[in-house]
Structure 1
Amino acid sequence: MGLLQDIKAAANNWWVFIIMGAIFIILGFYIMSVPAESFVALTVLLAIGMFFDGIGDIFFSITNRTRMHGWGWHLAIGCMSALLGISLIMYPEVGMRVLPLYVGFWILLKGALLSGVAFELKRHDNGYWWLVLFLGGLNGLFGILMILNPLFGATVIVVIAGLGIISIGVSLIFVAFRVRHFKSLLPQDAQVIE
């Protein structure tokens, strides 16, 4: 069974992506409104966001493990996101020094995950695969910028982090509506054959 069929099978939980996406859009705009002097607040907010993103991915993968091929990738990325968030919460002084690397790595992971979804959509002739690929690539670009230039300056880091997080939120909401669309295509009594 391919990823597209897995998404159809897991379509009952499409709303998880909406909630996660809305949280990230709000978080991204809030981060950009925080002045560069509030770098500590940025560290804490991003740690909380990473942690809950990880919990959302873990929840989605575990609740769909019997219906979704490759659910382990979602679980692994969810665990990494949650662990990054916990480490930033536990060691904020270290977190402030390495914040661009943490955020960059996290955004890069999410971009890679979305790019994989895009290629699976393309393989199944979905007309919107290119938009998911663009958004995944945009996430990857934000992540690489954060990793390669950690001394950008607090203001630029705040803006890039905010835009990257907004991009993640928009991507998750787009994926949610695509998953919901797949659910509407299935007959009510459809059963998944493994």
Structure 2
Amino acid sequence: MLEGTIVVVPTKPTGWSLILRGALAVIFALVILIWSDITVAAVVFIFGLFTLLDGALSLGLWFASSKGTKNPWLLALGIVSVLAGLFAMIWPNKTAIIVVLIIGWWALILGVLQLVSALAARKMFPFWWVGLISGGITLALGLWLVIAPGTGILAMLVVIATFLILAGVAMLFEGFKTLRTASA
């Protein structure tokens, strides 16, 4: 979604696309943070809208590129983003639950592996207990997300919003830098 801003030739359309995408990311994050009684379905729907617009901007940039500068990764990014956005907007509850469960199962498995690894390393590494603590925390997170995915995603909204603000600011910076380079 956001990390696919591959710029080969700095052009004004590329700069403006990055600026629009960065502004959308920051706005989406602020909506999540300000709208205190937001539901998971509403967040996923808004995320779907954001992803759809982000994908449309990527596709627009790809179609506007000249034949020699068309980046196939930008085309793939646009298609995947549009499809993900449509899926999230059509089935917001299913999308949210699927994502949280994937993260939850990943954290469960990772936590168990960290615990086993820490216990196996206790004779070789003096700070093996750090892995034990990390594994326990990761395992607890995984259990929480698998057992109560609805409340799990609400707690993760702040993390998601923080990521979007940082990614949005980076795209804004990159967009303005690209505009300056294209004008020079």
Question: What TM-score do you get using the length of structure 1 for normalisation?
Answer: 0.61
The Cα RMSD (Å) is: 2.9
* SS state at 1:159 partner: helix
Out of 7, 10, 28, the residue aligned to residue 9 of structure 2 is 7
Kept after mapping to 2: 8 A contact 1:100/1:157: no
Q: Which residue number in structure 2 is paired with residue 188 of structure 1?
A: none
Mapping of residues 1-194 of structure 1, within 5 Å? 6-8=8-10, 10-35=11-36, 38-68=39-69, 71-100=71-100, 151=145, 153-185=152-184
Q: Is the 8 A contact 2:25 2:167 kept in 1?
A: yes
Percent identity (aligned): 20
Q: Is the 8 A contact 2:40 2:154 kept in 1?
A: no
Superimposed CA distance per residue, residues 135-176 of structure 1 (whole angstroms, 9 cap, x where no aligned partner): xxxxxxxxxx9xx95928233311111112212211211111
Q: Please report how far the alpha carbon of residue 13 of structure 1 lies from its aligned counterpart in structure 2 after TM superposition.
A: 4.0
Mark the runs of 5 or more structure 1 residues left unpaired by the alignment. Answer: 104-144, 186-194
* Runs of 4+ residues deviating >6 angstroms: none
Partner SS, residue 162 of structure 1: helix
Superposition deviation, residue 100 in structure 1: 4.2
Contact kept? 2:96, 2:153, Cα under 8 Å: no
* Structure showing greater Rg: 2
Q: 1:83 is matched by which residue type in structure 2?
A: L
Q: For structure 1, which segment, 46-55 or 169-178, has the greater mean C-alpha deviation from structure 2 after superposition?
A: 169-178
In the alignment, the residues of structure 2 paired with residue 101 and residue 54 of structure 1 have an alpha-carbon distance, to the nearest angstrom, of 25
Deviation at 1:75, TM superposition (A): 0.9
- Equivalenced residue count is 137
Query: Kindly tell me: are residues 43 and 163 of structure 1, through their superposed partners in 2, closer, same or farther at Cα, counting changes over 3 Å?
Result: same
Work out the CA distance in 2 between the residues paired with 1:102 and 1:43.
15
